[in-house]
Structure 1
Amino acid sequence: MSALFPALVAGSDRPALRFGADALTYEELAEAAGALAARIADAGRVAVWATPTARTAVAVVAAFLADVPAIPLNPRTGERELAHILGDSTPSVVLAGPEDVLPAGLAELPRIDVGTTVTHVGPVPSALTGGSDGSESPALIVYTSGTTGPPKGVVLSQRAIAASLDALEEAWAWTEDDVLVHALPLFHVHGLILGVLGPLRRGGSVRHLGTFSTEGVARELGAGGGTMLFGVPTMYHRIADALEDDPALVRALAEARLLVSGSAALPVHDHERITAATGRTVIERYGMTETLMNTSVPVGSRPRPGSVGLPLRGVGLRLVEEDGTELGAYDGESVGEIQVRGPNLFSAYLNRPDATAAAFDGDWFRTGDMAVREPDGYVRIVGRKATDLIKSGGYKIGAGEIENALLDHPAVREAAVTGAPDPDLGERIVAWVVLADAEKPPTAQELADHVAGLLAPHKRPRTVHFLRALPRNDMGKLLKKALPEALHG
């Protein structure tokens, strides 16, 4: 029996996965994954070519059943980064779809083609237990984005995955009756753990769009009977843009039980546009590869644009000053670094005991994210310690609140804020803006005055750069270190 996925044992004809034309019931998934698990049971670690297909889901579930760590590989990873990941994690085999064309970097690794066609339905082999939901056995090794050096392999145990998904069951009232719709990539926490393993742990189902489109969202949430939608801010921004001219999309979102945004902050303006058109509130949550999920706005709560909610069950959360002193203020203004602890935390960075030790303050994990806490305990993230905490004129300022203020201006489509050295202020606030209409640009002074009026004069941008687009990664996260290059691109 799989303690992580008990519904696999029941042998039901309930739908489990649908990726376009590929659809599997729990009975079929148990057979396909069980057969593959028997083939990889003696593997040390397996790499998974993580395309947005049912084959990826089958491969990862098979690894769980065989109690073999899986390493999801981003199909868009470059040659050098792929070589680093393979050299660091040393998988013994790569699991891929029969039609997948793999890069030369994987040529020396034995390959097993993953199928989804079921020829004989039978129980999951009894020897394939999948560990237990409290096991420290490594289940996934997920690599970070490598923004501060070579990507690090984050070792996630079955215990951490189960704890995080079960805490979300409570926060989101997640049940076997839910049908989750999303189009997230499957090589990272959001799309794979939350978006595929989450529904399977609950005994519900997932419908993956393959490629994001507002038409697909309307189809699967509407007539398709979807109840939940997961997305990143870029997706919700496109949804907000489309709502005015797409009544089917409005109806689909209005009928959904839960809309969740994550991986980056959803601008307040997009929150407001979606709520105004559909009457539904988008819930935000906060997590990291190393911690899985830490906080969420609970389902059924009043709208809280800009907030990532309260700590989940079992998660300890505190804010600390730069010297490590705990920040006890619940005033919505005092900025500190988030530290967390709990059963949701990763086990270690693979082969990096030094980095693992440096990531902790005692038993508290240093997230590097800066936040404030409101009087009722809700957490509002203001940015990353390395790139989004601006010290200007004696003030500690979070870039996130300035970005939201800029987005409140009708001429601004996208905005990013950074700090730059300043001989007088220490750091000056720099805004990077994508206009809604390049033919009708506001002046830099107009935008600075707009921010000063909404927030405070010391939070106004001193420099404004206008760009055609903001640089982002595959998850839609803003790449602030690439902004100067975008300016000259």
Structure 2
Amino acid sequence: MTEAQADPDGPGARRPALRFGDRSLTYGELAATASPLAARVAEAGRIAVWATPTLETAVAVVAALLAGVPAVPLNPKSGESELGHIVSDSAPTLVLAAPGTQLPPALDALERVDITVAADIDTDADIDVRGTGSATPATGTPSTGTPATTEPPCLTPETPALIVYTSGTTGPPKGAVIPRRAIATTLDALADAWQWTGDDVLVHGLPLFHVHGLILGILGPLRRGGSVRHLGRFETAGVTRELSEGATMLFGVPTMYHRIAETLPDDPALAKALARARLLVSGSAALPVHDHERIAQATGRRVIERYGMTETLMNTSVRADGEPRAGTVGVPLPGVELRLTEEDGTTVVEAYDGETVGEIQVRGPNLFTEYLNRPEATATAFTEDGWFRTGDMAVRDPDGYVRIVGRKATDLIKSGGYKIGAGEIENALLEHPGVREAAVTGEPDADLGERIVAWIVPTDPQSPPSVDELADHVARRLAPHKRPRVVHHINALPRNDMGKIMKRALSHD
């Protein structure tokens, strides 16, 4: 990803490409807007993009891809220290932002370029953001691609496209260098798995500084020749409106689908709109089985899950033509190799029994190139034979479906000689009517090694379920050795911007 093509007589010029609220661009308008910006940044080396959920951010990233310049999406909610680290580490020469946006002092040293998106652009230009050798919906022929206003840059599949910074849970954020090859292969693999075409219209309200919102949510529709409608800010009313007005796909994270599940009983219009969707996709964290079932019961549609991360883009997914089984992330995508390993990182887990836990390792063209300026971290992340160590723990069902049970660092609990994944206990707890939200961790235990600890947001704070009640509930559904030994009742679980529970913020004190 991504070569671009400008064709003044292109048949797709007037097709809708991007819509953010009441602002939109056709493919022709996108070409006329992004191409001059690409010419402006072509010699910049690296550029930073102030990644607000706006039309300008999408245009900036398309322009960077046209120019062959690596873009560094910046989270507008990042603190000064984190921003300072990212800017120092990635060393961009420019920062692109929407006009009038106030930027923090950490960006003062960078030259600013305002992204101008004309309200009405009279053009028949066509832009095709797909990639070398891909087929266009209009012609079915490969597009080699040339930028509209500049000489074609010398690009290869390994040319860096984006530098996306990780969450930094174990230290300063690391910049994952994502090549054009990884973006193209991931999006094409998802097109195969999801039967994704240029006729699809995607709705999402995700941030644009990470893989899910930006690569899947913006570049994905553009690569297919389809369109995206971004809600700006997620609201169930917006989902209802867009799915009722012709949108076919919805991307969200578990907190969004949880809000949908909570709203559905009192919102028949939302249920009707979701029932119209061709595909409902959840990612970035596990969607609790309880929410899966509530949505399916109200709409007749099943949410499917996929599994990926910054360094690997997408690894697995439930296929559109496969069984939408709650609690799994499906099977490896085309081109992706996946294995489970024991704690030594080299002994392969051969079992497909739905019980044996191992660390997921992946290999394929979807992987990042390196951590910027971190050769030691890059080397540590890979095995000697080229497999990336994800740090995610999973089991495989007999038919190959992958079920993630948690992170190796925070969710693998060794208790009484068993290796237990926190995720399956959390799903069991969420099936209890007295539990609104749940997180599971381990803490030292002289007898068991680790004891299982449940952090519960009760449905009724005045009458929370007891530890014995929850222990019996889990033991009946899973196994006695997986029951929580300690239960903490709290008002809310700590979460990051993507809705992932920050377990390191939970204190046992």
TM range (shorter): over 0.9
Q: Alignment partner of 1:127: what SS?
A: coil
Q: Give the residue type in structure 1 aligned to 2:277.
A: A
1:87-106 equivalence runs, <5 A: 87-106=88-107
**Residue aligning to 2:359:** 337
Cα distance, 1:262 vs structure 2: 0.1
1:125 aligns with 2:148: yes
1:243 aligns with 2:264: yes
1:250-289 equivalence runs, <5 A: 250-289=271-310
Task: Call closer, same or farther: CA 1:131–1:232 in 2, change over 3 Å.
Answer: farther
Cα distance, 1:388 vs structure 2: 0.3
**Residue aligning to 1:14:** 15
Cα distance, 1:127 vs structure 2: 3.0
Whether the 8 Å contact between 2:464 and 2:489 is mirrored in structure 1 is no
Cα distance, 1:131 vs structure 2: 6.3
Whether the 8 Å contact between 1:3 and 1:131 is mirrored in structure 2 is no
Percent identity over the alignment? 70
Task: Call closer, same or farther: CA 1:478–1:225 in 2, change over 3 Å.
Answer: same
**Residue aligning to 1:204:** 226
**Residue aligning to 1:395:** 418
1:169 aligns with 2:169: no
**Residue aligning to 2:24:** 23
For residues 452-485 of structure 1, what are the alpha-carbon distances to aligned partners after superposition, in whole Å with 9 as ceiling and x for unaligned? 111111000000001100000000011000011x
Alignment equivalent of 1:190, drawn from 193, 212, 218: 212
Distance 1:111 1:85 in 2: 17
1:293 aligns with 2:331: no
**Residue aligning to 1:234:** 255
Distance 1:162 1:128 in 2: 22
Whether the 8 Å contact between 1:66 and 1:128 is mirrored in structure 2 is no
Number of equivalenced pairs: 483
Q: Give the residue type in structure 1 aligned to 2:43.
A: D
Whether the 8 Å contact between 2:36 and 2:149 is mirrored in structure 1 is no
For residues 298-348 of structure 1, what are the alpha-carbon distances to aligned partners after superposition, in whole Å with 9 as ceiling and x for unaligned? 003223000000000000000000122011000000000000000000000
Q: Alignment partner of 1:317: what SS?
A: strand
Distance 2:153 2:425 in 1: 47
Whether the 8 Å contact between 1:38 and 1:128 is mirrored in structure 2 is no
**Residue aligning to 2:334:** 313
Task: Call closer, same or farther: CA 1:292–1:383 in 2, change over 3 Å.
Answer: same
Q: Alignment partner of 1:445: what SS?
A: helix
Moved more, 24-33 or 432-441: 432-441
RMSD: 1.5
1:25-40 equivalence runs, <5 A: 25-40=26-41
Distance 1:42 1:7 in 2: 20
Q: Give the residue type in structure 1 aligned to 2:148.
A: P
Task: Call closer, same or farther: CA 1:447–1:5 in 2, change over 3 Å.
Answer: farther
Cα distance, 1:129 vs structure 2: 4.0
1:379-418 equivalence runs, <5 A: 379-418=402-441
Whether the 8 Å contact between 1:64 and 1:130 is mirrored in structure 2 is no
Whether the 8 Å contact between 2:29 and 2:121 is mirrored in structure 1 is no
Distance 1:342 1:237 in 2: 33
Q: TM-score, normalised by structure 1?
A: 0.96
Distance 1:442 1:416 in 2: 15
**Residue aligning to 2:463:** 440
Q: Alignment partner of 2:506: what SS?
A: helix
Task: Call closer, same or farther: CA 1:335–1:30 in 2, change over 3 Å.
Answer: same
Whether the 8 Å contact between 2:392 and 2:406 is mirrored in structure 1 is yes
Cα distance, 1:7 vs structure 2: 8.4
Q: Alignment partner of 1:327: what SS?
A: coil
Alignment equivalent of 1:462, drawn from 482, 485, 488: 485
**Structure 1 alignment gaps of length 5 or more:** none
**Structure 2 alignment gaps of length 5 or more:** 126-146
Distance 2:423 2:209 in 1: 27
Cα distance, 1:99 vs structure 2: 1.9
Alignment equivalent of 1:160, drawn from 179, 182, 191: 182
Cα distance, 1:121 vs structure 2: 2.8
Q: Give the residue type in structure 2 aligned to 1:268.
A: V
Whether the 8 Å contact between 2:14 and 2:124 is mirrored in structure 1 is no
Cα distance, 1:122 vs structure 2: 6.3
Q: Alignment partner of 1:434: what SS?
A: strand
Distance 1:326 1:179 in 2: 41
Q: TM-score, normalised by structure 2?
A: 0.93
Q: Give the residue type in structure 2 aligned to 1:100.
A: T
Cα distance, 1:4 vs structure 2: 4.0
Task: Call closer, same or farther: CA 1:5–1:204 in 2, change over 3 Å.
Answer: farther
Whether the 8 Å contact between 1:3 and 1:129 is mirrored in structure 2 is no
Whether the 8 Å contact between 1:4 and 1:130 is mirrored in structure 2 is no
**Residue aligning to 2:504:** 481
Distance 2:469 2:2 in 1: 58
